[in-house]
Amino acid sequence: MHLFVTLTHECNLKCSYCYGKCCDDFGSDEGEDDDDGFGDVDYDLPDNISYGVSDLRVFAEREPVENFIFYGGEPLLRLNTIYEMMDEVPAKRFIVQTNGLLLHQLEPSYLRRLHTLLVSIDGEEAVTDGYRGRGVYRQVLEQVRLARARGFTGEVVARMTVGRQTDIDTQVLHLLLETDGLFDSVHWQLDAQFWRSDYDPKGFSHWVRRSYRPRLLNLIEEWVKHMERKRRVLHIYPFLGVTETLLTGVPPGLRCGSGWAQLTVQTNGALAACPAMLGMKRYYFGNIRSGVQLGNSTLGSPCSSCQTLQLCGGRCLYANITKLWSETGFRLVCSTVKTLTNGLEAALPRVQSLLKYGDLSLSDFEYTKFNSCEIIP
């Protein structure tokens, strides 16, 4: 099993797509039907872990953990808890998902034991600072450079949040090709369907048609050209995951793993389907003290009958359940998934040709599964 472990809900940044929208969303469901997909929600989760690390150790001794992902809020605000858990809880890989600003505070001996750092950064300086605050871009690069200098040899994933200020092709290529090799790979998630109050059908649809979809196809073209010219596969997680399925034909399941390969330990020790579904009791899977119980992670309509399900995997359980942007908004986001899968399907013969003539091997497309990259943006 893979585990997200939410250490704290506190954060040292106030990014526009997270803190800003969280404030706007507060109270925006007034007058909505009580059963809007969330079900009975526990609003009293503690901000910091309220269970003992020894409870988690006993749990992990019973349920072997592969990827143990420190998550927040900002997990590096709780360094001592990270050290204690890395010393006591057995896990195959320790991974941190962080905004990166506090990496310098992490003891080098623990830093070097981490398998992966997922660092939030949205692309070039203007784009990143526009979403996340002035000076953040430069600080993140400096911190990753320092982590490398202190002996971190694992994977550094640039984790982007993609909104309407993002030109996806330019920003992804910047992170992979213009940052001195600091980032091994890139993953992104659309800033869509997470909150209710930010649904702007006209604006979002305009951006999807005019920018995101055509630029995504251009990024796929650049990705394949790079393989053809350099014999190297740029590690763009959404492309790796979908291409693997196209090459192998193995159905992926919900690619983030929520509720079937991966669970989240909330601050109170309850096991949730995913880090976004905090407090949603209908989707609990027991807790670390009593152990894992059977829970609910079934994808409903429209995913359950979608012809793209075998490639998409269902994109997001939380979005499928809550439909915060209505059915119309949901289908608009699906149109981006279909552009991704169709674009990669169209590129497949060129990829297969490189494999056939030995210019690349399947291992060039390998990536760590369930490391917090959800694959479908």
Residues within the interface to ligand SF4 (CB under 6 A): 256, 258, 274, 276, 302-303, 306, 308-309, 312, 314-318, 334, 337, 374
Pick the closer one to ligand SF4 by CB: 78 or 315: 315
Q: How far apart are CA 218 and CA 105, in angstroms?
A: 39
Pick the closer one to ligand SF4 by CB: 130 or 238: 238
What letter would DSSP give residue 86?
A: H
Give which of 185, 95, 109 is closest to 151, Cα–Cα. 109
Return the SS3 of 292: strand
Task: Report in angstroms how near the CB of residue 24 gets to ligand SF4 at its nearest.
Answer: 19
Task: Report in angstroms how near the CB of residue 251 gets to ligand SF4 at its nearest.
Answer: 12
Scored b (16 or more CB within 10 A) or e, 95-124 reads: bbbbbbbbbeebeeeebeebbbbbbbbbbb
Pick the closer one to ligand SF4 by CB: 86 or 306: 306
Residue for token pair 């279909």: 338
Q: Is 302:331 a contact under the CB 8 Å cutoff?
A: yes
Pick the closer one to ligand SF4 by CB: 146 or 309: 309
Pull the structure tokens for residue 375: 């694959």
Task: Report in angstroms how near the CB of residue 276 gets to ligand SF4 at its nearest.
Answer: 4
How would you classify the pairing of strands 67-71 and 93-98? parallel
Q: Is the peptide bond before 275 cis (omega within 30 degrees of 0)?
A: no
Pick the closer one to ligand SF4 by CB: 276 or 292: 276
Q: How far apart are CA 150 and CA 156, in angstroms?
A: 14
Task: Report in angstroms how near the CB of residue 110 gets to ligand SF4 at its nearest.
Answer: 25
Pick the closer one to ligand SF4 by CB: 58 or 309: 309
